[in-house]
Chains A and B, each alone.
Chain A
């Protein structure tokens, strides 16, 4: 684990200990913001203007989570990144941008007993996506969020364009199996 990751985790622990402490929240923001911004701009490459609003929305959710108290076993930095990514999707939807990713959430809301609302499904989706290999994450995020064409994906991955649908299909299956766990 890098020093920065350790520092972010310590800052998160301090925020849980005293969720209304503005100095602790500031310190968390200073450490966490540059890193999550890097992740958000890599997720949506078309227009970075959305990421600021997404981060603001996500930060309000972080404060609520701090107020709810810490739960053992949860990797909060990864969870917070999933929340920020989902907030970016919300911003895109709010600005009437097409989000093709929505079709990926169906397995999460199809079973009545375990149905998640759109917000919850989105966070769970990004949490699961981060456990796939990097190539799959890139394929799914670039295709479904940024809207990158199959030709461009093929160029970046240095594969034949006709291979892209098959690669996407494999990655989708891998993701679905994680989500159904």
Chain B
């Protein structure tokens, strides 16, 4: 089914004159999309969904209802057009797009307090307690089965996390979930790098299930984190 139409004709020449006369001074992708200049730009939001969020941006996201809402909404649209999109647009016929995440996955933004995590060799082997947050696309966050949530990749969690459901607006709907894992260990490759006193950037993945879903659906997310030997950090 063709969903989009080209719409009424526009006088491109006239509009170009206006576009030339009224041009923003900075890139539209680098400017804030929230309530003020501190809010995340389009570029930052896309980056957050691809790479997770750390430090100042993570702190801002956890305190700003508008940015949290923007990121949550952005998670529900597909970043890739379907295969025939451009070809059909060239033929002035556009096919219906399908959100590849819609049926099976609930993507989440995985947030860590800092971009760099200092870890001792002993912690890395199995006593690493850590906290992270997730911003899920689903509005029914209370349906997340917290006991099923685990991390893998650079940090392999052990045990069930404790969850704190945060309502930024105090409007009765949960905006994000702060998770504290009592125990975990680093992947071998990360442990080895820490043992050699090398910093290493690696990916932490998170996944979990939902209660009461007819079809099996999983929440998924990931973030890039830099790991460093904490002793080196304290010495430097």
Contact = CB atoms under 8 A, between A and B. Distances in A.
A25 B36 CA distance: 33
A116 B14 contact: yes
A25 B86 contact: yes
Interface residues on B, range: 35 or more
A111 B31 CA distance: 33
Contacts of A131: 22-25
B46 A35 contact: yes
Contacts of B16: 71, 74, 79
A165 to B, nearest CB: 17
A65 interface: yes
Interface residues of A, number: 66
Interface stretch (B70-78, B120-128, B140-148, B222-230): B70-78
B19 A82 contact: yes
Identify which of A26, A38, A77, A131 gathers the most chain B CB atoms within 10 Å of its CB. A38
A48 interface: yes
Interface string B1-26: 00111111111111110111111110
Interface of B: 3-16, 18-25, 27-37, 39, 42-43, 45-46, 65-66, 69-70, 73-74, 76-81, 85-87, 89-90, 92, 94, 97, 169
The 5 closest A-B pairs by CB, nearest first: A56-B4, A38-B42, A42-B33, A41-B73, A5-B27
